Structure 1
Amino acid sequence: MRRFGRTLVTAVLTAAVITGTAGWASADAQAAVTGPLPGTTAWLAVRGLPDPTTAAPGAVARFFAALPPEEAHALVRRHPLVVGNLDGVPVALRYRANRISILASGDGRYLSLAGSERRILAFDPRGRGQVVEVFGDLAHAEHVAVVVPGSDNDARTHDRARQAYSGPAGMARALRAASGDTTAVVAWTGYTTPVGVGLDAARVRLAEAGATRLTRFLAGLDAVGAPRPALFCHSYGSVVCGLAARHADARDIVVLGSPGMHAERAAALGTRARVWAAKGPSDWIDDVPNVEFAGLGHGADPTSAAFGARRVPAADAEGHTGYFVPGTQSLAAFVAITTGAAR
């Protein structure tokens, strides 16, 4: 009975402690964005177009490859929300479509994403908003990395100007700058993340929905000819990556500041990707109990010896979001993993 009580307390502590990057914030439950892409009804009213819900990214890529350029551009103009979010569509068309959608939204919170220098690979205004941004030339890159963020990230907080390396865009921008011109890095704020301290962050529900979206997104990268990517999964994002690992065509999966991946060891993830883990000495995630109990918690610590992941040096990473700061051991290791130099 005493052992049961200790386990219960640990599970409750997990719910109270796990959070993302914004600290002690709202604990409101979030509704995961699922279902057909916005604009699907009008899209399907046109005979012969692939169904965004059922068509695999490879089939979408083949459809657009056979489409005359003028017809493809007409679809961009008439159905930007579908074209901009449909995995398998050529990246240049998605950039153009998403610029149209962002400007058409009239929402001042998103207008900075429509700048001519931004490469927005997905923009979904539903819920808190989701955005996927590319740094570098994805169409011609020799190496690709995808940053999967944790809690408190959405289309509005995707690019934090005051905390340059803490948000997904800042992390991706830092990795791209350190990796060079042959690399493209994607900031994938492509799922509904938990907000603040609450049960959402301790539960797997949002990660399950995110894993489905991440798996399809990666299949879309493969469909347009991108190299197998390295995934960099931060905090709750590592829960997403753990669930997606079995079906994600990734070359490497790197988790940092992870509360767990819903696996007791790396081999149980069912992936052929190399699995890496990083945790800095001052990361508060170390205070989160690594348990799964009554639907709370995310399991074993990926940096533990028993888990079996390759360890990423992170002795000089400060706090929970300091892993991509220029000059750190962790960022140098991330570059080596991204470019294939790490062994």
Structure 2
Amino acid sequence: MMIPLLRLPHLILKPILHSLSLCDLTSLSACSKKTRIVIKMLIKLPSPHELMQNRSIEYCPMDFLCYLRLDMSSSEFHQQVSYSIRIDWGGIHLLITLRRIDSCEIKFYFHIRSINNTWNHVIDNRRWKKDVKSGILEISGVSLPISYRSKFKTFQLFWDYDYHGLITLIKYFKDTFALEIDELLIFLKDYSDLPGIKLLIDSLANATIQELYLISDIPDEAFLKMVLHNLTALESNVLELSVNDQFQFRKHFKSEIFKVEKANWFTFGNLLLLQASKVKISDSQFTNRDMKEYMDRWMTGEFEKLKTLSVEMCEQFDEAYFMDQW
């Protein structure tokens, strides 16, 4: 027989709530506004101001997020908290931003590393011994080594495999806080990160991303097509792909901002499928004829979402040709 939790007498409910972990309490509070109010009424929780005063932020950032989530409504929390991911030659970096907590902006910087780097981490910590605090962080039932370097305000997390760690964190943020990725920045210089990024892309198949930045010096057509096909950004797409002129990919891109550098692969057919308010295309293969046709169609009511358009053509702009019949 199922017993509605919130209908229990407070005398019985209080010890039940006290037996739950902070993460479980946070997940429970997301069920409804009433649930969160009851939890706050029966359990004394530190306010964001109290957390800032005792600097708990340095020791357990996940707990800090949990306390914020318990203190705020869903809409308030999602207005205040965002996170971005950057993958480049320096590794995997995750940034959590708390916008207006106690009249200031707070940022958590995470460097996600493979456990193989632990020895380098130990040596590095000896060098900065006074500046480093180390401990264990519980994420999704896994105990992980974590260190905090106050001078640089950065955390380092260690996993058996760094991309598994990133995927676990993304799932944790979504399941516990209903947070989606605001920015995903991928900078590819060589092939070493391809297996990990493929795992990441597969895990993000149904994720909501606001801004995507994809910059690649790798001419791996199958890989780039897989990334472009599986990732969709709602607010901004910024693409810079080093591919040859034979590379072909077509997609119905829909976002507020769309920018393409090295746009030799971006055809007129791609442009016709594009739905964006602000468009900037550099190093394209577009001709005066292409752009005249596009502008004529825009004048007749197509591409109604378009507000600004900047295109670097492959030939000199012919003003007389454009103005003909306008």
Query: TM-score interval w.r.t. the shorter chain?
Result: 0.3 to 0.5
Q: How does the TM-score come out when normalised to structure 1? A: 0.33
Question: Relative contact order (C-alpha < 8 Å, sep 6+): which is higher?
Answer: 1
Q: How does the TM-score come out when normalised to structure 2? A: 0.34
The structure where strand makes up a greater share of residues is 2
